[in-house]
Amino acid sequence: MYVADQTWPELGEYVAESSLALVPLGSTEQHGPHLPLATDHLIAEALAREAADRTGFLCTPTVNVGVSPHHRQFHGTMWVDAPQFRDYVESMTRNLAYHGIDRVVYVNAHGGNIQHLREVGRRLRDDGTMYAIEWMWDESIPDLVRELFDHLGPHGGPKETAMIMHIARDLVREDRLEDARDGGRRTFAGRDYREHGARTFYDAIENSDNGVFGDQTAATPEAGAKLFEAATDQLVQLVEWLDDQPFDDLMAPAHVDPQPGSRRHR
Question: What digits encode the pLDDT tens for the residues 7-16?
Answer: 999 999 998 8
Q: What is the pLDDT of residue 195?
A: 85
255 belongs to a structural domain: no
Count Cα atoms within 13 angstroms, Cβ side, for 33: 15
Which residues, in sequence order, are bridge partners of residue 31? 35
48 exposed, middle or buried (CB, 10 Å; 0-12, 13-18, 19+)?
Answer: buried
Is residue 101 situated within a structural domain? yes
- Give the phi and the psi of residue 20 in degrees, each rounded to 5: -125, 145
The total domain count for the chain is 1
Look at residues 258, 77, 224 and name the one whose alpha carbon lies nearest to residue 144.
224
CATH number at residue 59: 3.40.50.10310
Using a cut of 0.85, tell me whether the model's pTM lies above it.
yes
Tell me, yes or no, whether 264 lies in a domain.
no
pLDDT of 100 over the 60 cut: yes
Residue 256, in any domain of the structure? no
Residue 263 within any structural domain of the chain:
no
Q: What is the pLDDT of residue 170?
A: 97
Closest by Cα among 65, 45, 43 to 2: 45
Would residue 257 count as lying in a domain? no
Which residues, other chains included, contact 169 with Cβ-Cβ below 8 Å and sequence gap of 6+? 221
- C-alpha span between 217 and 162 (Å, rounded): 10
pLDDT at 265: 52
Give the residue-averaged pLDDT of 224-247: 98
Q: What is the DSSP letter of 211?
A: S
What local confidence, expressed as pLDDT, does residue 189 receive? 63
124-183 pLDDT tens trace: 999 999 999 999 999 999 999 999 999 888 899 999 999 999 999 999 999 999 999 999
Mean pLDDT of 208-231: 96
Determine the structural domain holding residue 109 and report its residue range: 3-249
Q: What is the mean pLDDT of the chain?
A: 94
The β-bridge relationship of strands 103-108 and 20-25 is parallel
pLDDT tens digit sequence for 16-60 = 888 999 999 999 999 999 999 999 999 999 999 999 999 999 999
3-state DSSP call for residue 63?
strand
Determine, yes or no, domain membership for 165: yes
Parallel, antiparallel or unpaired: strands 198-199 and 194-195: antiparallel
- Does a structural domain hold residue 175? yes
